[in-house]
Amino acid sequence: MFQTGLVRFNPKDKTFRHFPLPADINNAEAQQTMVQPRQSHVDGKVWATEIGRQVILRLDLASGKYDMVDPFKFMPEGTNHSPYGLAADERNNLFLMDFGDEVIARMDAKSLETTIYPTPSPRSRPRRTMRDAQGRLWFAEYAANKIAMFDPAKETFREWNVATPYSYPYDVYLDKSGELWAGSMSTDRVLRMTPATGKAVEYLLPRQTNVRRVYVDDRTTPVSFWVGSNHGASIVKVTPLD
């Protein structure tokens, strides 16, 4: 995050390549996060956030050149915005969560033009995200105590309340059976929900965990939920018994 640029590791020959920031944007506040290289094979571009300036960086792998784009430059003055979770579609168009406010933004891969989609819940502070096989975006609405889905094809949202108040969900993961998993930073509960019915169950973890990034292993039956214990120097696995 504070190493002034992006780095690519090649597991085949065990080599690193550093893509340094240019001198004009490399200062003490520069902080790169949320690297999104998954669709870089489409156009040779990698997305990331630049937290020090609250903008988006786009790296050209061939030249090492960075574009810096403010997706919120046309938003009303007096509002705070913070690009956070990123997901790229099959054409490497970027979707980003605005953790500082209440919107999702879509940035066109060619023109870099940005389209803004406000969430139904005000001041929702969307964070993290994952894109499923249908192209839908699943994300946490941290301040609204909800989890949500945005369908870019229909430009529509759906939201589901988290049963336990003040859970502040952080991240989400949709498993192979269509169940949605999330975790709470504050209650140390893992949420498992069926979006089609809204039916949900919560699993209380054995100790303070401070859930952040979550992951579901779809290779097991039933699936396995994994999370790092941010307060316990351990990794936690949750396996449903039903």
Residue 230 has pLDDT above 90, yes or no: no
Is the whole model's pTM more than 0.85, yes or no?
A: yes
Residue 13 φ then ψ, to 5°: -115, 10
Average per-residue pLDDT in the chain? 94
Give residue 78's pLDDT.
79
Give residue 65's pLDDT.
96
Give residue 143's pLDDT.
97
Residue 60 has pLDDT above 80, yes or no: yes
* Burial class (CB within 10 angstroms; exposed 0-12, middle 13-18, buried 19+) of 75: middle
Model confidence at 110, pLDDT cuts 50, 70, 90, reads: very high
Higher pLDDT, 59 or 78: 59
**% residues pLDDT > 70 (the chain):** 100
Residue 231 has pLDDT above 90, yes or no: no
Closest CA to 177 of 141, 215, 140, 221: 221
- Mapped onto helix, strand or coil, the DSSP state of residue 42 is helix
* Burial class (CB within 10 angstroms; exposed 0-12, middle 13-18, buried 19+) of 214: buried
Give residue 68's pLDDT.
94
Residue 77 has pLDDT above 90, yes or no: no
Q: What is the mean pLDDT of residues 129-150?
A: 97
Tell me the residue length of the chain. Answer: 242
pLDDT one-digit tens code per residue, 140-171? 999 999 999 999 999 999 999 999 999 999 99
pLDDT one-digit tens code per residue, 162-213? 999 999 999 999 999 999 999 998 999 999 999 999 999 999 998 899 999 9
> What residues are paired with 87 via a beta bridge?
95
The alpha carbon of 154 is separated from its chain's Cα centroid by a whole number of angstroms, namely 21
List the structure tokens of 35.
């690297």
Give residue 105's pLDDT.
97
Model confidence at 130, pLDDT cuts 50, 70, 90, reads: very high
Give residue 217's pLDDT.
97
Give residue 3's pLDDT.
76
Closest CA to 130 of 194, 36, 44: 36
Residue 1 has pLDDT above 90, yes or no: no
